[in-house]
Amino acid sequence: MRAFPINYCTRRKQVVLLLCCLVILYGFKLHVEDDVQFNFININGNEKCEIPKVNPFDESILPFFWKPNPIVCSENTELVYIDDDEMIHINKNRTKGKHIECYYQSVIRKEQSDDKILFGTSVWFNESRSAIMESDFAKVVCVFEGKNIYERLHYHIKKKQKYFKSDNDSFSVLLFGVDSMSRLAAIRELPKTLTYLEKTLSAYVFNGYTKVGGNSYPNFMAFLTGNYSVPFNKKNFFDNQPFVWKKFSERGAATMYSEDYPRLSTFNYVGRGFNESPGEHYLRPFYLAINSERKYQAKLTKIFMTLENNDITLGGTSSLCYGDSPKHAIQIDYFKRFLNKYKNNRKFAMSWLNEIGHDFTNFLKLGDADFYNFLVFLKEGGHLERSILFFMSDHGTMSDKIRNTPIGRIEAKLPFFSIVLPTILKKKYPHIEYNLQTNINRLTSPLDLHKTLIDIATNSYNPQQKDKEEIKHSGISLFNKIPKDRTCTDALIPESSCACYTSETIPTNNTVIKNITTFVVETINTYFKSHQSKCALLILKKIHDAKLIHSNLKHLEHGKKTALWQYLYKPTLDKKQRYFIIFEVMPSEGIFEVTTEITQTNNLIILDKIIRANRYGNQSSCINDWELKPYCYCKQTTLDVQS
């Protein structure tokens, strides 16, 4: 039998055929599987909001989460580097004695376009002669014996030659966002980052922060301009909008705006983006330059990511990489360089990661280590001493599979949101720390964040007394106390975004309530098993209050139907029973609050933490574990309950 070699044309046809098949499969996935979307609205938006407490590891959503393969990028091959003095050099350790010549071309935004770039004139340099960088971004090409041996885009921060105010008498804003990340997703996917935020940085993580729209645009406009209903037009730029960074810039702050994934960048997806750069430093041209040098790959990125989400990597390296670095790590590094360059200046810096979170929730966990390292850099580099950090998202998952579960419907409306305050600000304005601690369990939204950013821009930190009616139907600065009885209507949160529960009081002698409370007390006693010789056994004394919690989400039958499956299936409804209970124990006379859930299989789950509602003085002085102190009553201590 005779073998025929496969020629180049045949191989090329096979590659094209494979890509066509992938496109068809991907299209099938989009229109048959992922587009099944059931719409729910909140039917009680005028009632006091009970912040939902749900299990982030609920059995109904766990099948949608797994650990993807680590991001594998190419080996480090950087032949050139840019130093802190903005000079570009050839890395002599990589030339192996060869005489190599290089040139760079600045990446330039084309006038009146946020989607096109130009490359500047060539500036040559070699081992003995370096060159000064003229912009933040450049394409570098190196030549040896007449052949191109290196071509890559490089970035740094070229400090603008203008006056920037010192941060000695004002605070900066550092806003770090990850798209489509709910609070529950952060708990599941970013354990290392979240632990550092809460334990080391003492971050305020908000449980009731609620989106005001279905996608990034209304939520961005809400916190950046204070108006989420601004109409958009694909023909118009957004330069004339009252973005909050303008208030910082007017007051001498250096500004930076970074957003990856050019195809889905918030203001370019719905409009033309910006005519002028939205900040002194703007990362979009760098990403456009990446796409310009690999046009076909850029267009197929989502297909490659879909395959990668299913553990299929074409070519051996991840589509989440550029060269030897994950793209999210490049954006973080650009942020770090900006902070170092403007170390003693006032700043407004916003960096938003779309690609790692928008389409595939499981990719979030691939950023955990890098996010953690960035937070460590901020703290150890002193960048949080005079800066307020907002680590946040715009909304929860965009995956219809997850959003069609009872838990997913709730978490899609509750994005992750946290604040880290400088110690000096907390000491100077203690009421802010108290109010933030209160507000983490109140209903809040991006409109409140906007008011907060305005306060920071204008150095308005003193308590503000406003009439109760005056603050209805408007945003409220998070530095002020948010009303306990706030409704979605009060907060201008649409019924399609409102996640609030409501509740009804039930008798405390109800058998179910008694059984639940007994279980909770037994659970508390297991907390200090290792301290049994020191901590007294707690016994239920009294149930003070009990409430049955209701979800208010109602299915809209006339919702979007573009997928075959939607005609065959009905949405899964939330049939779990949730209870809020306040009870007292002996001998500590400790009063505790707990929210519990009874699943459809009659399993009892404690949602979130069991909270000590009254002070415990020196009751737990016999142990040093701060997490257990609210629960332990030392056998040898003198009762010292403070009201």
Q: What is the pLDDT of residues 82-133, one digit of tens each?
A: 999 999 999 988 888 889 999 999 999 998 899 999 999 999 999 999 999 9
pLDDT score of 33 = 46
Instruction: Name the pLDDT band for 638 (thresholds 50, 70, 90).
Output: very low
Contact residues for 67 (Cβ-Cβ < 8 A; gap 6+):
362, 365
pLDDT, average across residues 393-398? 90
364/386 Cα distance (integer angstroms): 29
Beta-sheet strands, E only, within 338-447? 347-353, 387-392, 417-420
For residue 568, is pLDDT > 70? no
Instruction: Using CB atoms within 10 Å of the CB of residue 52, give its burial: 0 to 12 exposed, 13 to 18 middle, 19+ buried.
Output: buried
Taking the C-alpha atoms of 226, 227, 232 and 236 in order, what is their torsion angle to the nearest 10 degrees? -40
Q: What is the SS3 assignment for 55?
A: coil
pLDDT score of 551 = 80
pLDDT score of 569 = 56
Quick one: 178-293+325-499 is in which CATH superfamily? Alkaline Phosphatase, subunit A (3.40.720.10)
Share of the chain above pLDDT 90, in %: 61
Domain 502-612 has CATH 3.40.50: no
Q: What is the pLDDT of residues 12-28, one digit of tens each?
A: 555 556 666 655 555 55
Instruction: Using CB atoms within 10 Å of the CB of residue 204, give its burial: 0 to 12 exposed, 13 to 18 middle, 19+ buried.
Output: buried
For residue 307, is pLDDT > 80? no
Q: Is 429 left (phi over 0), alpha (psi -120 to 50) or beta?
A: beta
pLDDT score of 5 = 36
User: Strands across the sheet with 87-90, in order?
Assistant: 80-82, 87-90, 131-132
pLDDT score of 97 = 81
Q: Which residue has the tokens 């990661």?
A: 353
121/74 Cα distance (integer angstroms): 29
pLDDT, average across residues 298-313? 70
Identify whether 422 is preceded by a cis peptide bond (ω within 30 of 0): no
Instruction: Name the pLDDT band for 576 (thresholds 50, 70, 90).
Output: confident
Contact residues for 215 (Cβ-Cβ < 8 A; gap 6+):
394, 395, 398
What is the enclosing helix (H) or strand (E) of 293? helix 284-293
84/341 Cα distance (integer angstroms): 8
SS (H, E, C) 586-605: ECCCCEEEEEEEECCCCCEE
361/64 Cα distance (integer angstroms): 9
pLDDT, average across residues 171-177? 98
pLDDT score of 29 = 53
Report the 10 Å Cβ neighbour count for 505: 10
Write the CA distances from 31 to 61, 306, 379, 561, integer angstroms.
22, 14, 45, 10
Instruction: Name the pLDDT band for 432 (thresholds 50, 70, 90).
Output: very high
Contact residues for 477 (Cβ-Cβ < 8 A; gap 6+):
448, 451, 452, 454, 455, 460, 464
pLDDT score of 467 = 64
DSSP strand pairing (281-282 vs 254-259): parallel
Q: What is the pLDDT of residues 255-294, one digit of tens each?
A: 999 999 898 899 999 999 999 999 999 999 999 999 988 7
DSSP strand pairing (553-556 vs 577-586): unpaired
Whether residue 395 contacts residue 219, with contact meaning beta carbons closer than 8 Å, is answered with yes
291/282 Cα distance (integer angstroms): 16
DSSP strand pairing (387-392 vs 501-505): unpaired
Whether residue 498 contacts residue 211, with contact meaning beta carbons closer than 8 Å, is answered with no
Nearest-CA neighbor of 43 among 601, 555, 528, 598?
A: 555
- Which of 304-318, 375-389, 466-480, 523-537 is the least confident region? 304-318
- Which of 68-82, 177-191, 264-278, 286-300 is the least confident region? 286-300
Q: What is the SS3 assignment for 94?
A: helix
Q: Which residue has the tokens 């005519």?
A: 275
Q: Identify the bridge partners of residue 605 per DSSP, sorted by sequence position.
A: 597
At residue 509, what are phi and psi to the nearest 5 degrees?
-90, 10
- Domain layout of the chain by residue ranges: 1-34, 80-155, 178-293+325-499, 502-612
Nearest-CA neighbor of 73 among 366, 283, 284, 307?
A: 366
Report the 10 Å Cβ neighbour count for 518: 14
> What does the DSSP assignment read for 379-404?
HHTTTTSSEEEEEE-SSS---HHHHT
What letter would DSSP give residue 155?
E
Write the CA distances from 168 to 125, 347, 387, 424, 453, integer angstroms.
40, 12, 11, 11, 18
For 346, half-sphere exposure in the C-beta direction (CA atoms, 13 angstrom radius) is 21
Length of the chain: 643
409/39 Cα distance (integer angstroms): 9
Sign (positive or negative) of CA dihedral 521, 525, 528, 531: positive
Instruction: Name the pLDDT band for 341 (thresholds 50, 70, 90).
Output: very high
Write the CA distances from 204 to 84, 246, 495, integer angstroms.
34, 26, 26
Average pLDDT of the chain? 87
Write the CA distances from 305 to 23, 310, 357, 556, integer angstroms.
12, 9, 11, 32
